[in-house]
Structure 1
């Protein structure tokens, strides 16, 4: 069952952020746009390339009014150790949530039960705490954070412009569509 259009389910977790351990819950996803990026595990191979790429887009996402959260089933302690020992992860300024209880991974339907790790899942959540986009990749397929920026722009446009939708390959400033009976069969 799709999570698009569903409110984020309750959770409480510990996270590592800017040298500190903090508490995070679903309430952190309300009042602003949020990007939640699940990945399988710390100290691995594809994961640091993705998280570094997400950090490279972090300033842009912040300018767009979004906060970024990464999540794995590791603990917040493991996140700190990885942050302290990896050049790529040491750059991260966004919140790194630990999910050793698997509650968050189950809530977002990305937990690989038999392995105890999460799929590569990316979720864009609106300021009401409602999931607007979902992307889930197999473990060996890394994501491109620039696509998150594009999807966030489209999600924000649609929210701010009721009655309009963004076609394929839409870019900010590009033409949108106004669904109506007149368009049926003419696109």
Structure 2
């Protein structure tokens, strides 16, 4: 699995950005939103139970991520058509403010090393990628356990300070200053 300090792989994927069929689909690549921080999170399958709770929670924090010059991408191995159908049929996903990317060939997931060996779907992996395309944070959960989007935002805040941040540090708190 790729980890801290590795370059996030190049990709070019179909994405769903709207429930309006006329403007629902677009292509998103590793060159999209160049120079921004990126939060890229993966879920196992559309039309499941834990996944929409996480996706909706990231959606609620999307403005906070945007305030930190960070773009959010959600990804699974389902097609863009399945993503659109799920958004249209799940109340919590209808107004999702970020793109749902379709890694149907599993190329990005495989290159990252986050495919579940038994199921062949993405693990619940979360990556924070800096503006230079370097992975700065990775978290991977078991298929049955949802993640905490507020903690991901806290880690992003800490990374963006470029300082030493103690356990449970929150934005606005003092950072650690080593003795000179």
TM-score when scaled to structure 1?
A: 0.88
What is the deviation of 1:29? Answer: 5.6
Which residue of 55, 59, 70 maps to 2:74?
A: 70
State the SS of the aligned residue for 2:66: helix
Tell me the equivalent position of 1:121. 125
State the SS of the aligned residue for 1:27: coil
Tell me the equivalent position of 2:113. 109
Tell me the equivalent position of 1:138. 142
Tell me the equivalent position of 2:89. 85
Task: Show CA shifts across 1:14-46 (max 9, x none).
Answer: 111124211112222631011011000000000
Tell me the equivalent position of 2:58. 54
Q: Does 1:38 align with 2:38?
A: no
Q: Which has the larger radius of gyration?
A: 1
Between the aligned partners of 2:128 and 2:34, the Cα distance in structure 1 is 12
Tell me the equivalent position of 1:167. 166
State the SS of the aligned residue for 2:104: coil
Q: Which runs of 5+ in 2 are unaligned?
A: none
Whether the 8 Å CA contact 1:73–1:116 is kept in 2: the answer is no
Task: Show CA shifts across 1:122-178 (max 9, x none).
Answer: 1111111111000100011111111111011001111xxxxx311111112222224
Whether the 8 Å CA contact 2:2–2:113 is kept in 1: the answer is no
What is the deviation of 1:179? Answer: 4.3
What is the deviation of 1:115? Answer: 1.6
Q: Which runs of 5+ in 1 are unaligned?
A: 159-163, 183-187
Alignment coverage as a number of residue pairs: 176
What is the deviation of 1:116? Answer: 2.1
Task: Show CA shifts across 1:65-122 (max 9, x none).
Answer: 1110000000111100101111011121101000110011112221114422100011
Between the aligned partners of 1:148 and 1:92, the Cα distance in structure 2 is 18
State the SS of the aligned residue for 2:32: helix
